[in-house]
């Protein structure tokens, strides 16, 4: 059983809760490696289609790297191959992941949320990349993902000052999908998950892969003409026939994820 997180399977939904509330769900190497294994399971399991990650308690999603633990262990940063929480350097996952941000999301905590496909935030949530204030930098993808998520000047305003941003401002800037009342971040994320689960899983994965990988193409024409293996899988899958058949028969589709 995981020691630093909780895992719940609910049909095709996988809910992961970072569980170190005594340190605001900040993560140390053992927690990061454990979360890497947890998300390895999610990616590999064909019956799991959507994941949600959140934090235990009502104070924090994650306060980022456990600096006290780092200081007590010689100041050495040990990051697992898949990155912070097993997510920030995971580039081969075609399945959607939703961040249910229930409180503080600082440093690595914000980088975990940015590595997710959607962010649902409590009205009490706070976001920041404060690493420059302690002589560090957002090395788990924050410096790269934030300018891809919001306009460059707004991203630079956060990166260069480490300032804190509320959930409402995050929504206005564009990196938060929905702001919900305090205590309802997980419930809000589950509502988004239900909408995703109503869609064909292979279609969702094709859409995710194409959207992200096309950002790296030099032109729209190149992006549209590129090859995406998740689109190939979708076209060859059983669900590619089930969708039109269900529409013609005026019934809900029964997705198999293959």
Task: Give me the active site residues, please.
Answer: 111, 131
Q: How far apart are CA 177 and CA 197, in angstroms?
A: 17
Asked if 113 and 127 count as a contact pair (C-beta separation under 8 A), the reply is yes
Torsion angles phi and psi, residue 121, rounded to 5: -120, 135
* DSSP labels, 51-107: EEEEESSSSEEE--B-HHHHHHTTT-----TT-GGGTTT-----S-EEEEE-SEEET
**Under DSSP, is residue 226 helix (H, G, I), strand (E, B) or coil?**
coil
Asked if 52 and 136 count as a contact pair (C-beta separation under 8 A), the reply is no
Residues sharing a CB contact under 8 Å with residue 63, sequence separation 6 or more, in sequence order: 23, 24, 25, 26, 104, 106, 107, 109
Quick one: DSSP state of residue 28? -
């Amino acid at each position: 059983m995981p020691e630093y997180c909780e895992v719940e399977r609910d049909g095709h939904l996988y809910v992961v809760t970072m569980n170190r509330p005594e340190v605001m769900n900040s993560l140390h190497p053992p927690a990061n490696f454990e979360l890497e294994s947890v998300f390895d399971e999610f990616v590999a399991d064909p019956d799991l289609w959507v994941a949600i990650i959140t934090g235990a308690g009502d104070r924090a999603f994650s306060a980022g790297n456990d600096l006290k633990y780092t200081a007590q262990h010689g100041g050495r940063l040990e990051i697992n191959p898949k990155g912070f929480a097993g997510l920030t350097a995971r580039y081969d996952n075609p399945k959607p992941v939703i961040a249910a941000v229930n409180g503080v999301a600082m440093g690595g905590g914000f980088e975990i949320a940015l590595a997710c496909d959607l962010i649902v935030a409590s009205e009490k949530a706070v976001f920041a990349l404060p690493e420059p204030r302690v002589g560090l930098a957002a090395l788990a993808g924050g410096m790269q993902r934030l300018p891809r998520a919001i306009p460059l000047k707004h991203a630079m305003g956060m990166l260069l000052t480490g300032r804190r941003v509320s959930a409402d401002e995050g929504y206005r800037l564009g990196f938060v999908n929905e702001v919900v009342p305090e205590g309802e971040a997980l419930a809000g994320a589950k509502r988004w998950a239900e909408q995703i689960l109503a869609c064909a899983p292979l279609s969702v994965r094709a859409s995710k892969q194409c959207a992200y990988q096309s950002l790296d193409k030099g032109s729209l024409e190149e992006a549209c003409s590129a090859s995406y293996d998740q689109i190939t899988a979708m076209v060859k899958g059983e669900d590619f026939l089930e969708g039109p058949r269900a529409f013609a028969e005026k019934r809900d589709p029964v997705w198999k994820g293959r």
